[in-house]
Structure 1
Amino acid sequence: MFGRRERDGPLMRNSNNTHSLRNSRVITAVAIGFLIGCIFAFFFPDGFFVSHSVTPTRRHHPLAGSKTQESSAGCESSDRVNMLKSEFVAVSEKNAELKKQVRELTERVRLAEQGKDQAQKQFLTLGKQPKAGPFGTVKGLRTNPTVVPDESVNPRLAKILEKLAVKQELIVAVANNNVREMLEVWFSNIKRVGITNYLVVALDDEIAKFCESNQVPVYKRDPDDGVDVIGRNGGNHAVSGLKFRILREFLQLGYSVLLSDVDIVYLQNPFDHLYRDSDVESMSDGHNNMTAYGYNDVFDEPAMGWARYAHTMRIWVFNSGFFYIRPTIPSIELLDRVATRLSKEQAWDQAVFNEELFYPSHPGYDGLHAARRTMDMYLFMNSKVLFKTVRNDANLSKLKPVIIHVNYHPDKLPRMKAVVEYYVNGKQDALKPFPDGSDW
């Protein structure tokens, strides 16, 4: 009993303390509940079961102060900005990746088109790949395929050529007013022979009007400051260099061109005497079979002793004033090469024309892969052959050339008229007054 009283005694003594503790716990619980309620009211002002399809509107909670509201709005704005920045970065990266893919696809398409173009050329050139035939029967390809015509290059010229050309080919001369008299002899004999597919590219208004007044087909180019100055004021060599740039458009349009200087007399239709098996078919400046068609020239150097003799292959140059050129890739490349060099170098166009045609590939230089043919020197005759050889040979003088090119003599006009008198009018002594060469 004593012990019980001892145990009960302290409880009784602490009853007031216990009551106080209970009261404090209740107060604490109420405070905690109130605080939790405030928190939930702040973060979930519309309750737990609001539909997400409805955009919530912000309501001012009576227990939330203005500073708290501003702080929460600032936090939300900051979070939104950060999210937008992240999205922007992601979109930018995606855009850069797409651009990269577009560039890669564009390059693939370009390469594919290039490969397709090369494949088409190779197919057209080679066709079905053959086996090598018996000994002595094998012949390589000589004729390159023509390009696909592109009328967008020069629609106005395309319309002219469509009406004028015969079998996609024509004679073209480039002229200015400096050569008016020779041009008249030139087109008069073309008309006499009956050639209809010819065209004069006029480099000035005077020659254009002169051609129109004589019912000569003429084409006046669109203005081009650099080209027009040369065209109006240039001499024979300047105009001769200009023609390579002009010819390119004809080839791009798909036409074969017989390029002709105006110091030429036509005695027959040249289209009846072409082979058309090469990119370039040209008359020669050679004066006999060796010089015109090539020969083995032995170079002698006695100091070398046993090896004193060196064999060289030589051919006299093609004449850049009369040649037939087909619309092929090598032909267009030739025109580009010559025109580019003439724009940068003080060079003779005929020398550059032949260098690009004949120089082989070697270290530092890629040669032109163009097929070429030398025309018959007695049909397509230069004036050296005529005045030095033919007129003095009874048998050769009976031949009737296709054309005579007065390229070796400066007194061009009187010799052209003499050629007409000799071959057309039958005047046998018409060529006698002229020396073999020139007076200077």
Structure 2
Amino acid sequence: MDDDMLKALATSGINTWPMDSDNTKGDMGWGSPDFHKMGRAKIALIKLFLDFNVSVVISDIDTVWLKNPLPYFNRYPNADILTSTDQLMQTVPDDSLELFPQAGASFNIGIMMFRPKSLAFVEDWIRQLEDPLVWDQTAFNEIARLSHTASDPANGNLWQGDQGKLTMGVLPASIFASGHMFFVQRKYEELGLQPYVAHATFQ
């Protein structure tokens, strides 16, 4: 995020590098031009890594990670994209992927996993954002939902999105939790689950 963070991570032995997107170093303000610019830089970063044929996990800065999510993501090797959700009630009683379209709230792009097959999707997403009035999360949702199918319980609740081009899944709202699900509902406690992440969203 800044030079101090870069130094702290490097001192801790964490592989990192500075990404200068010419954004302000202060509060970007939700919905501000700097906020939208930051979002576009994030998506360009996703594409950069997909170009190297590697999988990408992306997370907003207003998250607290409580467990390593990679073992969970690896449970779904056929998924091209896994995304968090603004859903305020779970559709499953355990740590399975949410049922879609029952979990019909907006996909939240603050926590996502992309595998290399999703590159064309991300390139399309970037093209949509050439219009400065388009919100990155809205564009993601619109492309993902094009001619979508429903969750297939026989295939781990995965479903087909982007006109059948991609296999997608909605991360469980109880353990990849929005602010409301984590701090207010404490849904993970009700279900007896261990959360992976709390995302300080504004619900």
TM-score range, shorter chain: 0.7 to 0.9
Quote the residue 2:182 is aligned against.
386
**Does the CA-based 8 Å contact 1:259-1:322 persist in structure 2?**
yes
**What amino acid is the match of 2:108?**
N
**Does the CA-based 8 Å contact 2:90-2:172 persist in structure 1?**
no
Quote the residue 1:354 is aligned against.
141
Q: Secondary structure at the match of 1:228?
A: coil
User: Over the residues paired in the alignment, what is the CA RMSD in angstroms?
Assistant: 3.0
Inter-CA distance 277–231: structure 2 relative to 1 (3 Å threshold): farther
**Residues 1:372 and 2:168 aligned together:** yes
* Unaligned residue ranges in structure 1 (runs of 5+): 1-175, 178-204, 222-226, 297-313, 409-436
- TM-score, normalised via structure 2 length: 0.73
Inter-CA distance 405–276: structure 2 relative to 1 (3 Å threshold): farther
Quote the residue 2:95 is aligned against.
none
**What amino acid is the match of 1:284?**
T
In the TM superposition, what are the counterparts of 1:262-341 in structure 2 within 5 Å?
Answer: 262-274=61-73, 275-290=76-91, 293-294=99-100, 315-328=104-117, 331-341=118-128
CA distance in 2, matches of 1:295, 1:347: 23
What percent of counterpart residues are identical?
Answer: 21
**What amino acid is the match of 2:144?**
L
Aligned length: 177
C-alpha offsets along residues 135-165 of structure 1, whole Å, 9 cap, x if unaligned? Answer: xxxxxxxxxxxxxxxxxxxxxxxxxxxxxxx
Quote the residue 1:344 is aligned against.
131
CA shift, 1:214, in A, is 4.2
C-alpha offsets along residues 286-325 of structure 1, whole Å, 9 cap, x if unaligned? Answer: 12135953457xxxxxxxxxxxxxxxxx711222111111
CA shift, 1:360, in A, is 2.8
Higher relative contact order (CA 8 A, sep 6+): 2
C-alpha offsets along residues 241-293 of structure 1, whole Å, 9 cap, x if unaligned? Answer: 21111111211212111111121111111011121221101122112135953
Quote the residue 1:43 is aligned against.
none
CA distance in 2, matches of 1:386, 1:251: 31
**What amino acid is the match of 1:385?**
M
- TM-score, normalised via structure 1 length: 0.36
Runs in 1 of length 4+ with deviation above 6 angstroms?
A: none
In the TM superposition, what are the counterparts of 1:15-414 in structure 2 within 5 Å?
Answer: 176-177=1-2, 205=3, 207-221=5-19, 228-230=21-23, 235-274=34-73, 275-290=76-91, 293-294=99-100, 315-328=104-117, 331-360=118-147, 367=163, 369-390=165-186, 395-396=190-191, 398-408=192-202
Q: Based on CA coordinates, which of the two structures has the bigger radius of gyration?
A: 1
**What amino acid is the match of 2:90?**
N
CA shift, 1:367, in A, is 4.2
Q: Secondary structure at the match of 2:119?
A: helix
CA distance in 2, matches of 1:395, 1:228: 41
CA distance in 2, matches of 1:325, 1:237: 21
CA distance in 1, matches of 2:72, 2:113: 11
Quote the residue 1:96 is aligned against.
none
CA distance in 1, matches of 2:119, 2:136: 16
Looking at secondary structure, tell me which structure has more helix per residue. 1
Q: Secondary structure at the match of 1:272?
A: helix
Quote the residue 2:156 is aligned against.
none
Quote the residue 1:98 is aligned against.
none
Q: Secondary structure at the match of 2:166?
A: coil
**What amino acid is the match of 1:316?**
A
**What amino acid is the match of 1:380?**
F
**What amino acid is the match of 1:334?**
F
* Unaligned residue ranges in structure 2 (runs of 5+): 29-33, 93-97, 149-161
CA distance in 2, matches of 1:295, 1:368: 15
